[in-house]
Amino acid sequence: EAGVVQSPRYKIIEKKQPVAFWCNPISGHNTLYWYLQNLGQGPELLIRYENEEAVDDSQLPKDRFSAERLKGVDSTLKIQPAELGDSAVYLCASSLVGGGTDTQYFGPGTRLTVL
């Protein structure tokens, strides 16, 4: 079974440019998470989706960050415009809530560098 897929794996952009990250969760998983991982830190939740609905986005900086999960499967996280402080790894995770085990499985992440 394929794991969580993320693309691109690496992205380098200049500040003030827009950037987007894509996540394909494990097949059948109804819950999807985006986490931010700064260098030397643990991941921090940005947003959680249950199917198509964003049910916890309290930590998402809504002035520049946006996310969507159309049709309750793939998800895209966007930053516009990017700032130097956005350089980090953006992790996507998925889980199956209500299916017996709801362990969160993480993708490899997208490493963003803002110059």
Partner 1 sequence: GENVEQHPSTLSVQEGDSAVIKCTYSDSASNYFPWYKQELGKGPQLIIDIRSNVGEKKDQRIAVTLNKTAKHFSLHITETQPEDSAVYFCAASRRNSNSGYALNFGKGTSLLVTP
Could you tell me if 108 and 95 are in contact, meaning their C-beta atoms sit under 8 angstroms apart? Answer: no
Q: Is residue 68 part of the contact set for partner 1 (CB under 8 A)?
A: no
Terminal-to-terminal C-alpha distance of the chain: 37
Choose which of 12, 84, 97, 115 interacts with partner 1 (CB under 8 A).
97
By the rule CB under 8 A, 25 interacts with partner 1: no
Q: How many whole angstroms separate alpha carbon 42 and alpha carbon 27?
A: 26
Structure tokens at 106: 């993480």
- Give the nearer residue to partner 1 in terms of CB position, either 24 or 48: 48
SS3 state at 93: strand
Does residue 109 touch partner 1 according to CB under 8 A?
Answer: yes
Q: Count Cα neighbours of 30 within 13 Å in the Cβ-side half-sphere.
A: 11
* For partner 1, the closer CB: 25 or 82: 25
Backbone phi and psi for residue 85, each to the nearest 5 degrees, phi listed first = -70, -5
Closer of 17 and 41 to partner 1 (Cβ): 41
Among 17, 28, 56, 61, binds partner 1 (CB under 8 A): 56
User: Applying CB under 8 A, which residues contact partner 1?
Assistant: 4, 31, 33, 35, 40-45, 48, 50, 55-56, 91, 93, 95, 97-98, 102-109
